[in-house]
Amino acid sequence: MSTLHIVSSSPFDSNAFSSALKTASQGDAILLIENGVYAAVDALQIDNLMSGAMPDVTHYVLSEDVDARALPRLRNNIAKVDYAGFVALVCQHHNSVSWN
């Protein structure tokens, strides 16, 4: 029973991303959408948040929301998906949790 954690708030505004990192267990995935995509940038603050996170959790980011915010450089341990990919992720996991 795996879970898709959908994070929609910036890691600089809320604890949503940190909470998802702490809650996600092996085989889960984290999808960053809306302002949550700021957790996909290649930055020291994000690395610090990620340290100690569960290793077997795949990270995804919604490409439309990355493009809308013109984010220059994403960390290399994250995969871009479009809305079709978003739907596929929802179907691949048994449950979804939305973190704001």
Partner 1 sequence: MIISVMVTGSPVSQQSAQTALSFCQAALSAGHQIYRVFFYEDAVQLGSALNVAPQDERNLNAAWSEFVKQYELDAVICVASALKRGILNDSEASRYQKPAANLAEGFDISGLGQWVDACLNSDRVVSFGA
Q: Which residues bind partner 1 (CB under 8 A)?
A: 6, 8, 33-35, 64-65, 82-84, 86-88, 90-91, 96, 98, 100
DSSP output for the chain = --EEEEE-S-TTT-SHHHHHHHH--TT-EEEE-GGGGGGGB--HHHHHHHTT--TT-EEEEEHHHHHHTT---B-TT-EEE-HHHHHHHHHHSSEEEEE-
Q: Closer to partner 1 by CB, 14 or 50: give it.
A: 14
Q: Closer to partner 1 by CB, 9 or 57: give it.
A: 9
Q: Closer to partner 1 by CB, 45 or 90: give it.
A: 90
